[in-house]
Amino acid sequence: MPPLRPDDPHGPEAGFATLRRFFHYLWPAGEPALKARVVAALLLVLIAKATTLIMPFAYKGVIDRMVPGMEAGAGLAIALVAAYAGARFAGVLFDNARNAIFEKVGQEAAARLSVDVFRHLHALSLRFHLNRRTGAVTKVVERGTKSIDTMLYFLLFNIAPTIIELTAVCAIFLVKFGWGLVVATVVVVAIYIRFTRTVTEWRTRVRREMLEHDTNAVARAVDSLLNYETVKYFGAENREAEGYGRAVHAYASAAVKNETSLAALNIGQSFITNMMMAGAMGYTVWGWSKGQFTTGDVVLVNTLLTQLFRPLDMLGMVYREIRQGLIDMEAMFKLIDTDTEVKDVPNAPALKVAGATVRFEHVRFEYDPDRKILFDIDITIPAGRTLAVVGPSGAGKSTLARILYRFYDVSGGRVTIDGQDIAQVSQLSLRSAIGIVPQDSVLFNDTIGYNIGYGREGASQAEIEEAARGAAIHDFIVSLPKGYETRVGERGLKLSGGEKQRVAIARTLLKNPPVLILDEATSALDSRTEAEIQDTLEQVAERRTTIMIAHRLSTVVHADEIVVLDKGRIAERGSHEVLLARDGLYAEMWARQQSESEEALAAE
């Protein structure tokens, strides 16, 4: 099997780099109590290892006194038995005390890293989240978090003590049995480590393939379940089950290969260790027959090698877990290293809103260099006025809302609120000044009260209820058995479309923003519900600077100005009456929608 290349992204250099980054979490600045726990745990490692090295000598002493003519020393032999038992207990005691002391360190480090990743995920641009599967991202975070505790345990409490014990055993063998046994032990351990590393590198690739299939299966399942309604719409249950089945069977095949490789590793390790044990004990028995060693020396060699090889027996698993842990941690750090794309300028001031005049000044935008969306958009929405943006699908209407929220930075021109460039103020203050009622209001899987209260942190129950009244949903909520404590289900699926929209309106009312965006807020509703919601929205929009993005023109006839977008450019602008009189694109869209409405009424 070829060795790792120097540029291997999962090679030793990458692993050490990942460890160096993680030590910042393991040895946190300003946390002396956690640092003291690390030091105490390492001291207990040394004490526990010293205790376990005493046990073989106590055992040897017992055996040496259990020979004819030494009956008078039975008391001492019994005392050595007690010492042996005491040393075994002390080893367990110190190991568990070490684990208990260090556990908080590992958990705190994992928690801090997880929070940093979670916070960074929310800081990433909308582009990142549109390009990544939620299930795959959450799996990366889950694996990275779980790997931390395991990896630390093996590094600090398995690899390091084994190195100490190997050094001590070699020193003991040198003093009591000479260089021959020392050289044999070192050579066999080196062969053992080489074999384990070679096979484990192969197994790591097998395991990585298995985990990739696992991630794909989970991501496919999450994606399918999140689109439960779409699956039902198209009767695609069998199609989804078959696709998930292929992903699961691919994982199962890789898992079988992984388990087979583990069997090969265990057999090879056992052969090497047992050959070493046989050779060392045979050499000691031969020395005993020559009068060079005592009976207890045979036991001493056996016990020392048994203790040495016990952790070495797990070396393959330990090495694999450490490598896999480093890979999982590296994946988490890659998430942290992902460019946030939309960043605050250094020392960005907070947005100061006076009247909330919004201006798009010759804005250009493209998602990719070869996919231009907006061309020279120049629009002014005076404070307290309403602008409607209409146009065919794909004209770039919703992109304006995303730009105003600064989910993306413009490619040219600028956007201002009260003359302040939104790219020069803090994103938090910008988004605090804007409220939105989207077409599809996604709710948290929590209570109705929580979802409304999400509009403003720390809002009182009275304020939440007042917002619900403003959205005309309070009476519906209190009619429910659990009232505001009613859970809405994942993504709000337990509520109707109109009810979800009213919750979203209440949430925005509670936020009380000076700038309001209505992004096709009623297009997914039936005509009766749409009319009711539209009345509510008109009341909400009063005295606010409002941008209405709409497909149905009947919802925007009252707007102070209507801008018609076509293929990313402003095709027309003016009031409803002016645009109808112009007999252009707007008038054509109006006539077509009126005709469709009449046909729908006639069909009822």
pLDDT score at 8: 46
- Interatomic CA distance for residues 115 and 346, integer angstroms: 23
496 with 578, same domain: the answer is no
Instruction: Please compute the mean of the pLDDT values over residues 434-447 and round it to a whole number.
Output: 85
Residues 6+ apart with CB under 8 A from 80: 58, 59, 61, 62, 65
The length of the chain in residues reads: 604
On whether the CB atoms of residues 524 and 493 are closer than 8 A, the answer is: no
175 with 124, same domain: the answer is yes
Q: Which of 163-195 are b and which e, b meaning 16 or more Cβ less than 10 Å from the residue's Cβ?
A: eebbebbbebbeeebeeebbebbeebbeebeeb
In this structure, the strands spanning 358-368 and 371-381 are: antiparallel
CATH code: domain of residue 319:
1.20.1560.10
pLDDT score at 130: 65
Residues 6+ apart with CB under 8 A from 496: none
- Residue ranges making up the domain that contains 402: 345-433+513-604
Amino acid, single-letter form, for residue 100: A
Instruction: Please compute the mean of the pLDDT values over residues 227-231 and round it to a whole number.
Output: 84
Q: Using alpha carbons, select from 94, 125, 113 the residue that is nearest to residue 22.
A: 113
DSSP states of 98-148: HHHHHHHHHHHHHHHHHHHHHHHHHHS-HHHHHHS-HHHHHHHHHHHHHHH
pLDDT in tens, 10-56: 455 556 676 777 777 777 777 888 888 888 888 888 888 888 777 77
pLDDT in tens, 60-114: 777 776 665 555 556 666 776 777 677 778 778 888 888 888 888 878 887 888 8
On whether the CB atoms of residues 272 and 199 are closer than 8 A, the answer is: no
- Interatomic CA distance for residues 379 and 457, integer angstroms: 33
pLDDT score at 602: 56
- Give the single-character DSSP code of 396: S
Instruction: Please compute the mean of the pLDDT values over residues 115-126 and round it to a whole number.
Output: 77
In this structure, the strands spanning 412-417 and 420-421 are: antiparallel
CATH code: domain of residue 454:
3.40.50.300
pLDDT score at 327: 78
Q: Please check whether residue 1 lies inside any domain of the structure.
A: no
pLDDT score at 6: 35
**Distance of alpha carbon 500 from the chain centroid:** 28
pLDDT score at 70: 54
281 with 372, same domain: the answer is no
Res. 505: pLDDT tops 70: yes
For the full predicted model, state whether its pTM sits above 0.75.
no
pLDDT score at 362: 94
pLDDT in tens, 531-588: 777 777 777 777 889 999 988 888 888 899 999 999 889 999 999 999 999 999 999 9
Name the domain count of the chain.
Answer: 3
Q: Please check whether residue 4 lies inside any domain of the structure.
A: no
| Residue 320 exposed, middle or buried by CB count within 10 Å (0-12, 13-18, 19+) | buried
**Domain end (from 321, 337, 353):** 337
**Domain end (from 497, 512, 527):** 512
Q: Using alpha carbons, select from 65, 19, 130 the residue that is nearest to residue 399.
A: 130
pLDDT score at 352: 94
Q: Please check whether residue 563 lies inside any domain of the structure.
A: yes
pLDDT band at 5, cuts 50/70/90? very low
pLDDT score at 572: 92
- Interatomic CA distance for residues 180 and 112, integer angstroms: 50
In this structure, the strands spanning 386-390 and 420-421 are: unpaired
Res. 9: pLDDT tops 60: no
604 with 534, same domain: the answer is yes
Res. 220: pLDDT tops 50: yes
Q: Please check whether residue 424 lies inside any domain of the structure.
A: yes
364 with 247, same domain: the answer is no
Amino acid, single-letter form, for residue 602: A
Q: Which of 355-386 are b and which e, b meaning 16 or more Cβ less than 10 Å from the residue's Cβ?
A: ebbbbbbebebbeeeeeebbbebebebebbbb
410 with 324, same domain: the answer is no
589 with 603, same domain: the answer is yes
Give the pair of three-digit tokens for residue 301.
């060699």
pLDDT score at 4: 36
Residues 6+ apart with CB under 8 A from 560: 382, 385, 386, 387, 575
**Domain end (from 337, 362, 395):** 337
Q: Using alpha carbons, select from 441, 555, 447, 552 the residue that is nearest to residue 496.
A: 441
- Interatomic CA distance for residues 248 and 244, integer angstroms: 6
Q: Please check whether residue 72 lies inside any domain of the structure.
A: yes
For the ranges 61-75, 142-156, 585-599, the one whose mean pLDDT is highest: 585-599
Q: How high does pLDDT run on average in the chain? A: 82
